[in-house]
Chains A and B, each alone.
Chain A
Amino acid sequence: MNTTGIVSRMPLPGPLPSSMQLNEQGRLRHLLTIEGLPRALITEILDTAESFAAMNEQAVKKVPLLRGKTVVNLFFEASTRTRTTFELAAKRLSADVLNINISTSATVKGESLLDTLRNIEAMYVDMFVVRHEASGAAHFIARHVAPHIAVLNAGDGRHAHPTQALLDMFTIRRHKGDFTKLRVAIVGDILHSRVARSQIHALNILNTGEVRVIAPKSLLPACVETLGVHVFHDIREGLKDVDVVIMLRLQRERMEAGLLPSEHEFFQLYGLTEERLALATPDCIVMHPGPANRGVEIDSRVADGPHSVILEQVSYGIAVRMAVMGMIMGGASGGGANA
């Protein structure tokens, strides 16, 4: 029996470098953040996802790549949609899936995050898909889990949501091909968005022609331009000639925190309408990580209109997550679906 998972280890605090997500051969060991991933690796993930996307459209949607592996969806923050796509991805690779929802109130009761991890890893599992409200949680877990367990970040605080960014890149690539000629605008609450941060890194690694962010200052992080974006406060200027518009979800709490006066005014200034979309290129695509607040950040006519690829994003999400899981645990690459 493999007992490496329950050997007691003395954990020590210290730096949690993102470089730990790659092994000595430069292969994915964990997926924690997009930042620092080589372009070739992102391209390989997207290529692998292509083969799974084709498979997902077939009648039999299952391969035995991860048979005998156990994936644990460890969600410290509620999310049915994201968890479901991870669950489907794992099941289509024939892995066993365990869903564990831990409300933070349970951890407040005295069990530390490390205790929780120790208990679950003692069940001989192979991968943690982690969502947590604190930035850096996935790095922390990757550093302290048993060495044979891989960690897939499904969203940590405001920091990163790498699989969402990858599925967005997949969607853009399917529609637009070459990134170097594209203008991409991300609109809305950049400050609190882990999705936006991961998208910005991915777009820049893929050499996107221009990455723009469009938001009022109160929804932009400090020094946002150092992430490699051009900043616009006026949506009309920002949308001019863009090829891809990515709308972000606006949480109601932002009004309460005094960052915005009202949903109404936000829609007036930053909501994506058909009229504003006309400022973009004629074949511009409209994306949203979901769930969209219709009438707050996006008009229903745009969300359901001909430029929208929002539902495609959801289905590609499964293929991309299969690719990442397959590459980390099953050695899949390129023609992963045929393995």
Chain B
Amino acid sequence: MRLAIDNGRVIDPASGIDAVTTLYVGGDVIAGLGEAPTGFVPERRIDADGCIVMPGVVDLAARLREPGFEHKATIASETRAAASAGITTLVCPPDTEPPIDSPAEIELINRRAKKATGVFVYALGALTAGLKGQQLAEMAALKRAGVPGVSNALRPMGSPLLLRRAMEYAASHDLTIFLHPIDWSLASQGCAHEGQVASRLGLPGIPEAAETAALGVMLALTEQTRARVHFCRLSTARAVDMIARAQEDGLPVTADVAAHQLFLTEMDVADFNSLCHVIPPLRTQRDRDGLRRGLKSGVIGAVCSDHQPHEADAKLAPFPATQPGISALETLLPLTFRLVEEGVLSLVEAVARLTTGPAQILGISAGALATGRRADLCILDPRAVCEIKPETWLSQGRNTPFFGWSLNGVVTYTLVSGRIVHESTRT
């Protein structure tokens, strides 16, 4: 289909474009910007007056729950939700059941994703066999099957020695390693930030040092092995400082943060709200502010959803017995844009942390709007109010602590490979 998107504010951090103009889509690529390519006759015109036209969001962490947890969500349901939220590429961590530790699981995910909306799904491969943290996974086979990186997700590595070997091996195969800086021994049985709220509620705490101690070891091993490491889901201000120093020292490390960590703190757990039960836990205001600063400075290159859809029962139990995680695909974009309203990020920075930033971390060419690039984009109406009403969501997971929030920014169109995969009925 030939498409003209008129009068939108086109923002593409990759090329530095920020202008009100017309963007042309022909077939599955961007055919031009500004002037129509010669002979281009659009079959359809979209009026994007007052809207933002930006690259499709690249989400570094979204659990699709398939295979293994189809009672929570499916690839079909969650990619549909992603499309409606302006997300055109997403990464699923390897902690499915069975874990993604061989090409067979990747083929299955690819097949189901292709049959769904067309949103691009990249599976991370397991760092260790079965994610058991005992023996390396067959990373070269995973690489051939197309993984952009390897990770042990939220499972402990048997020892720092094994982690070192895994990093060396991954580096030999030019694979980025996605590490969660959590010392599981220090985290113990904790379910909330070790601080005044957890102490008052009698919840077993996860100390700040669970993150910084693990990060310290991982940074030392990065220096040793020169592996390319991406740190997932930072939760503490100190970790941001440590990564900033490592980046200054020239270590090949990047980091991301989950959108909810930029808004919620331990105080939100104060009423035993199981919807705020996440790992790593919500920490202090100081940590939240440090994460915001790290995002602004670029030390943290990406905001991700850390989407973890659950069935209602998973959250209906006493707090420590509930399953951690937030259903977050459909709040990622409006929450990140909220940071612009709050003066934390410029609009271009917000778009960059959702598109070029994560695309660079993945080493993929998505997240840009230049002529000739694949036409993955979304149109967002920043004036429209997005009421967070999980009952209207496409995701099967309704577990959000943001219900009732009113945020600005509604995705009116999402295009994947030049095809309209979402068209808002609300405007």
Contact = CB atoms under 8 A, between A and B. Distances in A.
Contacts, number: 98
Nearest to B207: A222
Interface string A1-45: 000000000011111111000000000000000010000000000
B200 A35 contact: yes
Contact of B315 (A13, A18, A134, A137): A13
Nearest to A222: B194
B205 to A, nearest CB: 6
Nearest to A104: B321
Contacts of B313: 112, 114
Interface stretch (A60-68, A86-94, A223-231): A223-231
Given A13-B399, A136-B320, A159-B202, 5 more contacts: A16-B273, A135-B202, A139-B318, A223-B195, A226-B196
A19 to B, nearest CB: 9
Interface in B172-216: 194-196, 198-205, 207
B275 A13 contact: yes
Contacts of B315: 13
A222 B273 contact: no
A315 to B, nearest CB: 28
Interface centre among A13, A160, A226 (most CB of B within 10 A): A13
A139 B272 contact: yes
30 contacts: A11-B312, A13-B274, A13-B322, A14-B273, A14-B403, A15-B273, A17-B271, A18-B271, A112-B316, A113-B321, A114-B313, A114-B316, A114-B317, A134-B319, A134-B320, A135-B203, A136-B319, A139-B318, A144-B316, A156-B318, A157-B202, A157-B203, A159-B201, A159-B203, A197-B200, A197-B202, A221-B199, A222-B194, A222-B207, A226-B200
A158 interface: yes
A63 B316 CA distance: 39
Interface of B: 194-196, 198-205, 207, 271-275, 312-313, 315-322, 399, 403
A296 to B, nearest CB: 22
A14 B202 CA distance: 19
A222 B317 contact: no
Contacts of B204: 158
A232 interface: no
B38 to A, nearest CB: 57
A191 to B, nearest CB: 9
A108 B139 CA distance: 36
A285 B211 CA distance: 44
Given A139-B272, A140-B272, A112 B317 contact: yes
A197 B318 CA distance: 18
Interface of A: 11-18, 35, 112-114, 132, 134-137, 139-140, 144, 156-160, 194, 197, 221-224, 226-227
A140 B403 CA distance: 19
A134 B321 contact: yes
A180 B345 CA distance: 51
Contact of A222 (B205, B271, B275, B316): B205
Contacts of B195: 222-223
Nearest to A20: B271
Given A135-B201, A158-B202, A160-B202, A15 B196 contact: no
A139 B313 CA distance: 16
B267 to A, nearest CB: 11
B202 A140 contact: no
Contacts of B274: 13-14
A18 B271 CA distance: 7
B317 A140 contact: yes
A284 to B, nearest CB: 28
Contacts of A12: 312
Contacts of A15: 271-273, 275
A158 B318 CA distance: 13
Contacts of A160: 202
B196 A137 contact: no
A13 B271 contact: no
Nearest to A137: B318
A126 B194 CA distance: 37
A203 B313 CA distance: 38
A150 to B, nearest CB: 18
B270 to A, nearest CB: 8
Nearest to A17: B271
Instruction: Pick the most buried of B205, B271, B272, B313: most chain A CB atoms within 10 A of its CB.
Output: B272
B200 A227 contact: yes
A226 to B, nearest CB: 4
A135 B316 contact: no
B206 to A, nearest CB: 11
B396 to A, nearest CB: 15
Contact of A194 (B194, B202, B319): B202
6 cross-chain pairs, A with B, having the tightest CB-CB distances, nearest first = A158-B202, A159-B202, A13-B315, A134-B318, A221-B199, A15-B271
Q: Which of B202, B203, B271, B272 has the most CB of A within 10 A?
A: B202
B273 A113 contact: no
Contacts of A112: 313, 316-317
Contacts of B321: 113, 134
A167 to B, nearest CB: 19
A140 B204 CA distance: 17
A226 B199 contact: yes
Nearest to A76: B318
B199 A222 contact: yes
B391 to A, nearest CB: 10
Contacts of B194: 222
A75 to B, nearest CB: 15
Contacts of A17: 271
Contacts of B205: 221-222
A11 B202 contact: no
B199 A136 contact: no
Contacts of A135: 201-203, 272, 318-320
A223 B205 CA distance: 12
Contacts of B273: 13-16
Contacts of A144: 316
